[in-house]
């Protein structure tokens, strides 16, 4: 009788643990997906909205107010001066306020930097944001869901994630160049065959850097746009 009660209690405990783990897992997955959707959509929408600004020289500074204001919001919430559970749930990995001061803050600073420095007349900023928002964002979503085969030099990253980053980053970058070129903003005259080759080179370099095991040294939201800026500058501006 004693044994069967123990077995019963043990089973009950395991069931409760299973239910709790399942609850946590489903909520964490939800949080990861929502974070990456915010990651992809906010940056791409920000860039897509640049043509709405006037041709005045101050336009780029006005545009950068959106990411800078969000940066301030992230600092205020990251330091726990104010609490907003919705913000924390939608942009952090583990639900800790201090995480707002890392990936999300770097992300909005890169958005502001690209608006002010490159704005809509240079391919460099457009490609950097396409790779950071679109490419890096899709790598996570595809990698987490379908990335069972890992990259030999990095157990955290998968072939599916990196190939998706390359393809999506490449297509979004070309789309952005086409959009800004069709609207007459780009100073360069683009020959699309050579542009596609250059964008492929930029996308490969950004993808390889994202796949390296350097995540603890430097955040992807810095390394990916930084290496894209350098490569795009070499390919398009020298
Ligand atoms: C989730 C984000 C970064 C985390 O990166 P990672 O750790 O997943 O690598 C992105 C955070 C986005 C930010 C809080 C909100 C950005 C708003 C944007 C500047 C406004 C766009 C305006 C536009 C006109 C819709
Ligand atoms: N190239 C990649 C990138 C991410 N991923 C998946 O996405 C997860 C999060 O990637 P990450 O550490 O770069 O995340 P963030 O720093 O971008 O938020 C990884 O643990 C992988 O499951 C992948 O499979 N392949």
Q: Is the CB of 156 under 6 A from ligand 2?
A: yes
Side-chain-side CA neighbours of 107 within 13 Å: the count stands at 28
Closest ligand to the CA of 38 = 1
pLDDT of residue 189: 81
Ligand 2 nearest-atom number relative to CA 210: 1
Question: For the chain, what is the domain count?
Answer: 1
Q: Is the pLDDT of residue 11 over 90?
A: no
Ligand 1 atom 11: residue of nearest CA:
104
Question: Do the beta carbons of residue 173 and residue 131 sit within 8 Å?
Answer: yes
Q: Is the CB of 166 under 6 A from ligand 1?
A: no
Q: Is the pLDDT of residue 9 over 60?
A: no
Please give the Cα distance from 169 to 235 (Å, whole number): 16
pLDDT of residue 70: 97
Q: What is the pTM of this model?
A: 0.89
The first and second tokens of residue 187, run together, are: 């100073």
Please give the Cα distance from 238 to 233 (Å, whole number): 7
Would you place residue 192 in the very low, low, confident or very high pLDDT band (cuts 50, 70, 90)?
Answer: very high
Q: Is the pLDDT of residue 134 over 60?
A: yes
- Hey, which of 35, 106, 139 would you mutate to test ligand 2's pocket, going by the most ligand atoms within 8 Å of its Cβ? 139
- Tell me the CA–centroid distance for residue 205 and ligand 1, in Å: 23
More confident residue, 86 or 169: 169
Task: Tell me what ipTM this predicted complex has.
Answer: 0.96
Q: Is the pLDDT of residue 32 over 90?
A: no
Q: Is the pLDDT of residue 23 over 90?
A: no
Q: Is the pLDDT of residue 8 over 80?
A: no
Closest ligand to the CA of 47 = 1
- Tell me the CA–centroid distance for residue 42 and ligand 1, in Å: 5
Q: Which domain holds residue 9?
A: 2-237
Cα angle 228-125-52, degrees, rounded to a multiple of 5: 155
Q: What is the pLDDT of residues 98-107, one digit of tens each?
A: 999 999 999 9
Ligand 1 atom 16: residue of nearest CA:
42
pLDDT of residue 52: 97
- Tell me the CA–centroid distance for residue 47 and ligand 1, in Å: 12
Residue from 222, 221, 177 nearest 39 by CA = 221
């Amino acid at each position: 009788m004693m044994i069967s009660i123990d077995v019963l209690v043990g089973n009950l405990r395991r069931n409760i643990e299973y239910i709790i783990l399942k609850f946590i897992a489903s909520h964490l997955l939800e949080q990861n997906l929502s974070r990456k959707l915010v990651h992809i959509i906010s940056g791409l929408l920000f860039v897509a909205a640049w043509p709405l600004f006037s041709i005045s020289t101050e336009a780029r500074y006005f545009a950068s107010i959106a990411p800078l204001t969000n940066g301030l919001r992230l600092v205020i919430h990251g330091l726990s001066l104010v609490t907003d559970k919705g913000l924390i749930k939608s942009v952090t990995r583990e639900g800790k306020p201090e995480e707002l001061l890392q990936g999300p803050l770097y992300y909005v600073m890169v958005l502001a930097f690209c608006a002010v420095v490159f704005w809509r007349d240079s391919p460099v900023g457009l490609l950097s944001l396409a790779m950071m928002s679109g490419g890096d964002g899709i790598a996570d979503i595809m990698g987490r869901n379908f990335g069972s085969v890992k990259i030999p030099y990095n157990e955290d990253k998968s072939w599916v994630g990196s190939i998706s980053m390359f393809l999506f980053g490449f297509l979004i970058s070309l789309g952005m160049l086409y959009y800004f070129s069709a609207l007459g903003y780009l100073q360069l005259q683009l020959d699309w065959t050579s542009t596609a080759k250059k964008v492929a080179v930029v996308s490969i370099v950004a993808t390889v850097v994202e796949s390296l095991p350097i995540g603890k040294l430097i955040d992807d939201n810095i390394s990916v746009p930084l290496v894209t800026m350098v490569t795009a500058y070499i390919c398009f501006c020298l």
